[in-house]
Amino acid sequence: MGGIERDNAAVTNESPEFVRVTELTKRFYPSATWGNLLSGQFRLPPVIALNSVSFTLPAGLIGLAGPNGAGKTTLLRAMAGLLTPESGEITIDGMPVEGHSSAFRKRVGYAVSGERSHFWRLSGLENLTFFGALHGLRRHEAVRHADELLHLVGLSSAKHRAVREYSTGMTQRLSLARGLLGSPTFLLLDEPTRGLDPGSAEKLRYFVSEELVAKRGMTVLWATHDLQEMQSLCSTLVLLNQGRLAAYGDFDAIHDAMRDVFR
């Protein structure tokens, strides 16, 4: 595969491209604190989360690595159509992200980890039914699809329990099920094994690689800062650092760049 790429030129791969990101830039403008205002600083300089990032990806299981603050989550949210970059383009399976059409939303799933991803007073089934309705499913379709997904991720026996009673591993599986609503062909995972014990993490990795990618033909972009996870799981890796593309290729090809970034 491709070797190390230390500038922001577009990186290509010999495999047919599934994702193309071109000159993607995103800035955030932090709010001024009282201390800033009292010192006469009414507007803080922007934080550049993504800085002219360009690359292409083949289909399959792809790793997105980088330290905290590298821009991984910003890139995932841009790919999911949840935020609009200042400049640049993203094309997924031949479809541009810009416009966020209903066809695009069905094609791309985003599994968000964390406590704010679900309604904790509702059951797992009620959560997925609600989010299924946001995908445009009629109620009976949303219930049926939610029930199928809960069975797929191993939560059928807990589907009527309130999510606040779920363990961390169960919550992560519910997040995965939510990302699969709409039967996407491209799934974005943001640190899906964070907080899991080793056994639960291994089961989740196996499910994604064998059930979703190998059996169902889904393309998955898996974001993490766990290097061992990336080495064992993904054949192709994208490395971000401080909002820039630091390297691209297989683990051996970008090993030196990863060592420099995480050091």
CA distances from 258 to 13, 50, 72, 81, 93 (A): 19, 18, 15, 28, 28
Residue 147 belongs to a domain: no
**Number of other residues whose CB lies within 10 A of the CB of residue 31:** 7
> CATH code at 236?
3.40.50.300
Give the per-residue pLDDT at 15. 52
* pLDDT surpassing 60 at residue 26: yes
Asked whether residue 80 is assigned to any structural domain, the reply reads: yes
Query: 125 vs 129, 175, 185, 196, 212, CA distance in Å?
Result: 6, 12, 23, 22, 21
Q: Could you tell me if residue 136 is inside a domain? A: no
Q: Which of 140, 211, 226 has its CA nearest to residue 180?
A: 211
Note whether residue 84 is domain-resident.
yes
% the chain with pLDDT above 70: 91
| pLDDT interval class at 7 (50, 70, 90) | very low
Which tokens sit at 180? 């699969």
Give ∠ CA 161-167-170 in degrees, rounded to 5.
Answer: 75
Residue 74, domain extent: 17-93+185-262
Task: Identify the residue whose tokens are 């191993």.
Answer: 154
User: How many domains does the chain fold into?
Assistant: 1
Per residue in 54-79, pLDDT (tens digit) is 999 999 999 999 988 899 999 999 99
103 domain residue, yes or no: no
pLDDT of residue 221 exceeding 90, the answer is: yes
249 falls within a domain: yes
Cβ burial of 68 (10 Å; 0-12, 13-18, 19+) is exposed
Entry pTM: 0.85
Whether the per-residue pLDDT at 103 is higher than 90: the answer is: no
